[in-house]
A and B are shown apart, each in its own frame.
Chain A
Amino acid sequence: MATLTPTVDAATPAHHAPSGVWSWLTTTDHKRIGLLYGVSALLFFLVGGVEALLIRLQLAAPDGTVLSADAYNQMFTMHATTMVFLVIMPAAAAFTNYFLPILIGARDVAFPRLNALSYWIYIFGGLFLTISFFVGGAPDGGWFGYAPLSTQVPELVRMDYWALGVQILGLASLLSAVNFITTVFTMRAPGMTMMRMPVFAWMALVVAFLLLFSLPIIAVGLFEVFFDRNLGTLFFDAAAGGRPILWQHLFWLFGHPEVYILILPAMGIVSEVLPVFSRKPLFGRSFVIFSGIAIGFMGFGVWAHHMFVAGLGPVAEATFALTTMFIAVPTGVKIFNWIGTVWGGSVRLKTPMLFSLGFIAMFVIGGLSGVTHSIVPSDTQQHDTYYIVAHFHYVLFGGAVFGLFGGIYYWWPKITGKLLHEGLGKLHFWLMIIGFNLTFAPMHILGLRGMPRRTYRYPDGLGFEFWNFIATVGSFTIAVSILVFLVNAWRTRKRGEVAGNDPWDGRTLEWTTTSPPPEHNFDVVPVVHSEDDFWHRKYSEDEHGNAVPVPGGYEPPKAGQDDPPIHLPSPSYYPILSAFGMFLTVLGLVYVPWGLFLAGAGVVTIVWGLFGWSMEPVTREGH
């Protein structure tokens, strides 16, 4: 493939990267941790996808018998829980882990072992939730676990798995948030001012703050649910004066910022991909950044739009209607700036670009349906129907998932050194966007025609049959597109085209390193002079403002005698040990009282892990 890049591909000598399973279990290298997150997220994506296909099979016809009501309720609960907590958040974490340090010119994150801990807690949390399927049933109270339904049957352990599982997954994200905030504030390369940071890095920072302030709220709520179920507390016991609506406030005070946590990383990816494949800077870059920050702030002020039919009273409802409407403004600013980036560019329609453009198109639809929800009287008809299901799948699938796939195709060559096959990539994209729209566009109609959510079956005679059948066909089309992607990924291992450092003629720092980058990221920490620093070293502007290549191109500096030695974080088994301790603890807590022994063993393991961690040395000499 032709590129304009004048970079010389540096032939990195075979570097003695640690190998073997143990090296992966003890890694503290942000790139390896990012890879672990990515592969795990992909596996859970398949699990969540199968859950979705089962749901669609059940709903393909009236009075379906593919799933019992009980199985169905577990399926939709776990589909959502899986996709939110085990797929999209970890996929974003994968990219943030791998690329945030490189994008800001750092060698790793601020706390590499804490970084590993976050990953292992996530995996053990996913394992914990999966176990529930095999011991009497997975959680079945919805991913949102409304009280008092979630506290109604303490004898069954399903919702204990849910409360504790979501709790530790939240802890993993919280620790990551602290890590990334600290990294951005203290470890940027010289000259990398905040405003010169790539937009993806900015979005990661905003997401970290959203996590920091929203997770504690749901942590309290989950404790209250767990205590109601197991200690006899009365937080949500209406007969005793408890207030079920309290749960909804606590959940959505987290839950709404959560949806921005889910979308902003993908928006960050799109903000990176569009300029590269339009060969122009991001239009209105600072506006895109400030809109992201504004969305973060305003995201804390709209939560009760999930509660428009709960009986808040017209004054509260009016207030939240207004705040919800106005959060569309910064969102629109981003969309218009993205279009402005493409406009006037030289647009290369490679797969990463297709997914990013698809993101914009699909997100516009989801955003507009979101505005219709903010119209409270309309929402009294739309709420809890398939119209809402359509909305959030347009923004979360058409938005976040498309954006993340764009990131996969964009950064795959950097991570693996090989390019994914372009033809298969395009096939994946087109099958996916067609299947996606076939699945979810009809749901707008189904919702307005009166089909509620979370219903294991619907009767004949309501007019739901045709569009449900189409939606099922669409869902299997999506499944085929994912198979295409998996074939592409597998094929690239042996037959992928070698990528080189800079296959896309990129703008940001990761494209200055080898593909994959060395363990220490940069031979010499770059000194940054502008945003899109790498691009500006490759290109200058003529008198019309057009980009012209710099004669002789750009070669990144090589390490010399006088450069200080590179310190790399040592591997450690304490993070996985501590995470395993947490796993034992929550597993024991599900089965109180006799489970307290197991929980006790878990606590001891955690203490051992943390103690060893604080005692061991931090870094080792690199080369």
Chain B
Amino acid sequence: MVVATDQTEHAGHPDPTNVGKVAMWAFLGSECLFFGTLISTFLLYHNTTLDGPTAQEIFDVPFTSVSSFVLLMSSLTMVLAHYAAGRRDWRRMRVWLLATAGLGLVFLSGQAYEFTNFVHEGLTVTTSPFGSAFFVLTGFHGGHVAIGVLMLLATTFMSFSGRLHEGQGMNVELVGLYWHFVDIVWIVIFTVVYLLQV
């Protein structure tokens, strides 16, 4: 998605191949505010539990720790994918991309399991402001992870068809930036929502 200009080597004029990265960083800056606002809402309501379950009663921190670890490992595989791409080892890159997507899916399954349990134990979006804030925050995060998984799979698919090599299409580095960001957001959520409450 780059329009070539005629001269590229003068002072103060960055390399156009950075275009995607500038855009992704700008977008991620916006996402910081998005999740910051969701987390702020949660912090406001974390004790407004009405008759429903409280954080202490319902969270299973050991379980969530495991799924957090899984997501953290997926950032490692993402780094490995990027490294392989840098060395033009497309086969290795695809392996690590798929591993990242796979770990992301494991994380999402863990979320689904956890949320199903919460619903059975009496915490839904409508139970209390705490419930509303919790599910909306983690739900949006999960949605972001899901979109990340789709982007990872799309990148892998495009690599099979040879598009990645021409510099077009989804840049592995950009996907990596997004994926790491989503992981960092989870670390903040895990700390603020799970660890600091219990």
Contacts and interface: CB of A to CB of B under 8 A. Distances in A.
Task: Check whether chain A touches chain B (CB < 8 angstroms).
Answer: yes
Interface of A: 106-108, 110-114, 174, 177-179, 181-182, 185-194, 212-217, 219-221, 223-224, 227, 231-235, 237, 240-243, 246, 250, 524-525, 527, 563-564, 566-569, 614, 617-619
A524 B7 CA distance: 10
Given A185-B14, A250-B37, A241 B128 contact: yes
A106 B5 contact: yes
A233 B3 contact: no
B13 interface: yes
A214 B3 CA distance: 29
Contact of B19 (A110, A231, A235): A110
Interface string B108-143: 000000000000000001101101110010001000
Given A194-B12, A212-B26, A525-B6, A235 B41 contact: yes
Contacts of A194: 12
Contacts of A250: 37
B10 A190 contact: yes
Contacts of A231: 125-126
B33 A186 contact: no
Size range of the interface on B? 35 or more
B30 interface: yes
Contacts of B86: none
A216 B29 CA distance: 10
A288 B13 CA distance: 24
Contacts of A112: 1, 3
Given A110-B23, A186-B16, A216-B30, 11 more contacts: A110-B2, A112-B3, A187-B19, A189-B13, A190-B9, A213-B33, A217-B33, A240-B129, A241-B50, A614-B169, A619-B4
Contact of B26 (A181, A240, A525): A181
B132 A241 contact: no
Interface in B5-51: 5-7, 9-16, 18-19, 22-23, 26-27, 29-31, 33-34, 37-38, 41, 44-45, 48, 50
B1 A618 contact: yes
B195 interface: no
A619 B170 CA distance: 16
Contact of B38 (A108, A193, A220): A220
B154 interface: yes
12 contacts: A111-B23, A178-B26, A186-B14, A189-B13, A191-B10, A219-B34, A220-B41, A234-B128, A242-B48, A527-B10, A564-B4, A618-B168
A235 B30 contact: no
Interface of B: 1-7, 9-16, 18-19, 22-23, 26-27, 29-31, 33-34, 37-38, 41, 44-45, 48, 50, 125-126, 128-129, 131-133, 136, 140, 154, 158, 168-170
A192 B27 contact: no
Contact of A181 (B7, B22, B158): B22
A527 B22 contact: no
Contact of B50 (A214, A240, A617): A240
B132 A190 contact: no
B3 A567 contact: yes
Nearest to A215: B30
A190 B13 contact: yes
A132 to B, nearest CB: 25
B114 to A, nearest CB: 19
Contacts of A566: 6
Given A186-B14, A216-B34, A564 B26 contact: no
A113 B1 CA distance: 9
B142 to A, nearest CB: 14
Given A177-B26, A182-B23, A232-B126, A190 B7 contact: yes
A188 B3 contact: no
Contacts of B26: 177-178, 181-182, 212
A235 B125 CA distance: 10
B37 A220 contact: yes
Nearest to A179: B23
A213 B129 contact: no
B30 A192 contact: no
A114 B34 CA distance: 21
B5 A525 contact: yes
Closest 7 pairs between A and B when the two form their complex, measured CB to CB: A190-B10, A216-B34, A233-B132, A232-B126, A241-B48, A220-B37, A216-B33
Contacts of B128: 234, 240-241
A112 B3 CA distance: 9
B147 to A, nearest CB: 11
Contact of A178 (B11, B23, B48): B23
B3 A569 contact: yes
Contacts of B9: 190
A213 B126 contact: no
A178 B30 CA distance: 9
Contact of B31 (A216, A524, A525): A216
Contacts of A189: 5, 7, 13
Contact of A234 (B33, B126, B168): B126
